Amino acid sequence: MPGLKVAVSGKGGVGKTTLSVLLAQEAVRQGHKVLLVDADPDANVSATLGLEREPPPLAQHNELVNQRSGADGMVKLTPRVDDIPDRFSETKDGVRVVSLGAVRSGGAGCACPESGFLRQLLLHLFLERDELVLVDMEAGIEHLGRGTVRGVDALLLVVDPDRKSSQTAGRIVCLAAELGLNRVWAVANKVSGPQEFDRIAHSLPTGVPLLGQISDWQILRTDGPLSLGALPNDAGQEVAEILSRLRREAQAKGPQEAGRESSQD
């Protein structure tokens, strides 16, 4: 698999963090290097992964954020970001975690500098082959309005049986296209049977491949840390199949790559 940056997006409550953590664990199990970025202000990746110590929130380092995002007035075409994962991450079972940080107080104002910092990090973070970056985005569509996902290679939508999650997915796809992000895939989550899977599949926007499903496993509804090894074999197979299909989609030439090549001709 080529180096890949994937933003995990969807309506609140659909299971973005759960899927992000499980995919990260499966990717490590298969021998990939993994960086999991918690970009949700309501940060839950550390608890879900079971980190003993949370990574230092990047948003609390004002000087760093201002310098690297250009908020200090010094716009850098290629800001240095390769030191960020090493300086501000914590690791659990091979999954390296970086956290953008939660909202610190009511009325704290716009998170634009933090969003700009994350955008620069994703744009200029160079990956090795077989390295995977998963970004657990905040719920809804606001991050697309701020253009945070400009630096990723693809968007992974999490959709559950609630019809509202399909409606949010449709809005996300439209906004992503306006940003030039045309590689969008989907995963059906909390699926209790074939009828729900089919309903989700038919509700997706045209041209969005459905990579697979995560069934409505009771173990995934607990509040404690998630461990891929503690899941039933069938659940682990579902996660592995999603990652396998994601790899195949990543290796195929998508609309973005075709557009880049034609612009260089």
Mapped onto helix, strand or coil, the DSSP state of residue 107 is: coil
Poorest-confidence range of 28-42, 68-82, 210-224?
68-82
Domain ranges of the chain: 4-264
pTM of the predicted protein model = 0.84
Task: List, for residues 172-205, the tens digit of each pLDDT value.
Answer: 999 888 888 889 999 999 999 999 999 999 999 8
Give CATH for domain 4-264: 3.40.50.300
Phi, psi of 89 (to 5 degrees): -120, 160
Cα dihedral sign for 53, 226, 151, 172? negative
* Residue the block writes with tokens 């699926």: 191
Over residues 58-87, the pLDDT tens digits come to: 777 666 656 655 554 444 545 566 778 888
- Residue 122 has what pLDDT? 75
pLDDT in tens, 220-262: 988 889 999 999 999 999 999 999 999 999 888 544 443 333 3
Task: Check: CB of residue 46 under 8 Å from CB of residue 54.
Answer: yes
Detail the DSSP E strand segments found in the chain.
4-9, 33-38, 89-92, 95-99, 131-136, 154-159, 184-191, 210-215
Closest CA to 179 of 9, 4, 1, 2: 9
Q: Which residues pair with 97 in a beta bridge?
A: 36, 90
